[in-house]
């Protein structure tokens, strides 16, 4: 092997411009491939191991959520949203519920806002754990993927205690929650806040300054801030490119303006920056949860878990059987007969992958007239061919996992 063969950077340029000597290969990456973590196809044109061109095919798990939503009452759409980004389902749920609350003009008590913040930050942590452990898995380190999933499991135990479900939670209601958190749920939240920082430090020690991991990830799949904005990037992927845009700060919702936290930004937008931005975001999430717990402790009222909106929150069952008014509300909610104003709103939240937007057009009927979900994955995944062009095939795999493309969110 000559010296030039050992230095890919010397001969890469020629190959990208088609001056290479090798015959081009077409390779199907996907639709189902263990390394793509989801169902999407990339037809790659390769010169040796260098990617020249990519053609993407998506839509393998398209479930027509926007169409189905046009035929469902508002409550029944919540269960569609958590099937989009199932790694951080509660954020999707609450994003939708907040959009509906904006449409209806419901103002929430602070305690409910803070409870939502806790759940949303917990689910951001699960989302980032999944993404970062998968990055390490695809970079060749299997340990974190198996070892740090226990923290995701611990968070799912909190969800389980609150609503009984783990993955598709649906714990929210229009105006708040379905029920108050139990003592055990609070206890588990406090425990995780105490123990997770040490685990994150350990995760950092394994990878962040690990020579092998750094060589693998630095300069792998970079994108400039300018291109990232042009491609509609949001969330950790945009921040890794150096733009400090975070919906929680830019358009605070659910009382995020009460919290003190930092927005980590990267510099080069490569896999390493995306990894480290997510690591730091998990720490910031822990800090936000800690602040939220303190704020909730200061609120004397321990029983409020939803706003005073009898039109939308089911009355307790014993009242339904004994009280005329409760029975009427129960009937109206279950049958979807509550009045809804005519109007259109767009509400966005900071999802695991970026700005998750909900656009509702209501004509006053029991179903929304039109619903549009702004799914961050769908919007930034189109930049994938440009990011991986001229790189190695194995870099493409790593880039895809670092972009955290969730098939459910991509296809809706």
Partner 1 sequence: MPAFTINAERDQLAIDRLTEQLGADGFTHERLYDTMCFVVAKEKVHETLAFLRNELDFNFLTSMCGMHFPGLELELGAVYFLHSMRNGHRIRVKTHVSLKEAELPTVTDLWPTANWMERETWDFFGIDFVGHPNMKRILNMEDFPAFPMRKDYPLEDPTREDKNDTFFGR
Cβ closer to partner 1: 140 or 341?
341
Question: Environment class of residue 12 by beta-carbon count within 10 Å: exposed (0-12), middle (13-18) or buried (19+)?
Answer: middle
Question: Is the C-alpha dihedral spanning 172, 175, 177, 183 positive or negative?
Answer: positive
Closest separation between CB of residue 358 and partner 1, Å?
Answer: 10
Report whether 309 contacts 340 (CB < 8 A): no
Show Cβ contacts of residue 276 under 8 Å, excluding neighbours closer than 6 positions: 208, 240, 264, 266
- Cα–Cα distance measured from residue 75 to residue 72, given in angstroms and rounded to the nearest whole number: 8
201 vs 257, which CB is nearer to partner 1?
A: 257
Residues 25-64 close enough to bind partner 1 by CB under 8 A: 58-59, 62, 64
Q: Which long-range contacts (CB under 8 A, 24 or more apart) does 223-231 make?
A: 223/269, 223/383, 223/386, 223/387, 224/269, 225/269, 227/383, 227/386, 228/269, 228/380, 228/383, 231/379, 231/380, 231/382, 231/383, 231/386
3-state secondary structure of 340: coil
Q: Kindly write out the interface string for residues 340-379 of this chain, putting x where it contacts partner 1 by CB under 8 A and - elsewhere.
A: ---xxxx-x------x-x-x-x----x---x-x-x---xx
Classify 50 as helix, strand or coil.
Answer: strand
**Residue 245 beta carbon to partner 1: minimum distance, rounded to whole angstroms:** 6
Shortest separation between residue 264's beta carbon and partner 1, angstroms: 18
Q: How far is the CB of 320 from partner 1 (least distance, A)?
A: 20
In angstroms, rounded to a whole number, what is the distance separating the alpha carbons of residues 323 and 320? 6
- Which CB atom, from 8 or from 343, has the smaller least distance to partner 1? 343
Residue 291, both tokens: 């602040």
Using CB under 8 A, which residues numbered 202 to 261 contact partner 1?
A: 229-232, 243, 245, 250-251
Residues in binding contact with partner 1, number by CB under 8 A:
45
Nearer to partner 1, 61 or 208 (CB): 61
Give whichever of 72 and 216 is closer to partner 1, judged by the CB atom: 72
Show the site string, 63-82: x = touches partner 1 by CB under 8 A, - = not. -x-xxx-xx-----------
Site membership for partner 1, residue 107 (CB under 8 A): yes
CB 411 within 8 A of CB 144: no
Site for partner 1 in 79-98 (CB under 8 A): none
Between 164 and 365, name the residue whose CB sits nearer to partner 1: 365
Pair 44, 393: CB distance under 8 Å: yes
Binder among 100, 108, 122, 292 for partner 1 (CB under 8 A) = 108
Strand-pair partners of 374? 357
* Smallest distance, partner 1 to C-beta of residue 336, A: 9
In this complex, which beta carbon is closest to partner 1, that of residue 275 or of residue 381? 381
Which residue number, 350 or 411, has a Cβ lying nearer to partner 1?
Answer: 411
3-state secondary structure of 218: coil
Judged by the rule CB under 8 A, the positions of this chain that interact with partner 1 are: 58-59, 62, 64, 66-68, 70-71, 101-103, 105-108, 229-232, 243, 245, 250-251, 343-346, 348, 355, 357, 359, 361, 366, 370, 372, 374, 378-383, 411-412
């Amino acid at each position: 092997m000559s010296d030039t063969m050992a230095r890919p950077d010397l001969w890469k340029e020629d190959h990208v411009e088609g001056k290479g000597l090798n015959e081009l290969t077409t390779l199907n990456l996907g639709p189902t491939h263990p390394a793509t973590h989801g169902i999407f196809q990339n037809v790659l044109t390769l010169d040796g191991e260098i990617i020249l061109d990519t053609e993407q095919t998506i839509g393998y798990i398209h479930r027509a959520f926007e169409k189905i939503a046009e035929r469902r009452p508002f409550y029944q759409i919540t269960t569609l949203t958590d099937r989009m980004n199932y790694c951080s389902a509660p954020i999707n749920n609450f994003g939708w519920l907040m959009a509906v609350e904006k449409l209806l003009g419901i103002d929430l008590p602070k305690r409910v806002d803070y409870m939502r913040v806790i759940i949303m930050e917990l689910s951001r942590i699960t989302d980032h754990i999944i993404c970062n452990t998968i990055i390490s898995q695809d970079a060749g380190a299997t340990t974190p993927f198996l070892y740090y999933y226990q923290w995701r499991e611990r968070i799912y135990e909190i969800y389980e205690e609150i609503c009984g479900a783990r993955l598709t939670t649906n714990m929210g209601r229009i105006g708040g929650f379905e029920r108050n958190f139990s003592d055990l749920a609070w206890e588990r939240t406090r425990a995780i806040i105490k123990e997770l920082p040490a685990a994150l430090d350990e995760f950092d020690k394994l990878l962040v300054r690990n020579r092998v991991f750094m060589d693998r990830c630095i300069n792998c799949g970079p994108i400039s801030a300018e291109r990232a904005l042009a491609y509609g990037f949001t969330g950790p992927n945009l921040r890794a490119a150096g733009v400090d845009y975070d919906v929680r700060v830019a358009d605070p919702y659910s009382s995020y303006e009460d919290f003190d936290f930092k927005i980590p930004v990267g510099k080069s937008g490569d896999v390493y920056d995306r990894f480290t931005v997510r690591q730091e975001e998990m720490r910031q999430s822990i800090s936000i949860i800690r602040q939220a717990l303190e704020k909730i402790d200061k609120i004397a009222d321990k029983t409020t878990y939803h706003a005073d909106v009898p039109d939308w929150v089911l009355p307790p069952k014993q009242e339904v059987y004994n009280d005329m008014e409760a029975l009427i509300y129960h009937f109206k909610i279950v049958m979807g007969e509550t009045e809804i104003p005519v109007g259109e709103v767009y509400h966005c939240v900071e999802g695991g992958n970026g700005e998750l937007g909900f656009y509702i057009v209501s004509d006053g009927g029991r179903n929304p007239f039109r619903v549009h979900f702004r799914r961050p994955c769908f919007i930034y995944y189109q930049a994938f061919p440009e990011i991986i062009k001229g790189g190695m095939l194995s870099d493409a795999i790593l880039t895809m996992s670092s972009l955290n493309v969730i098939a459910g969110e991509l296809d809706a």
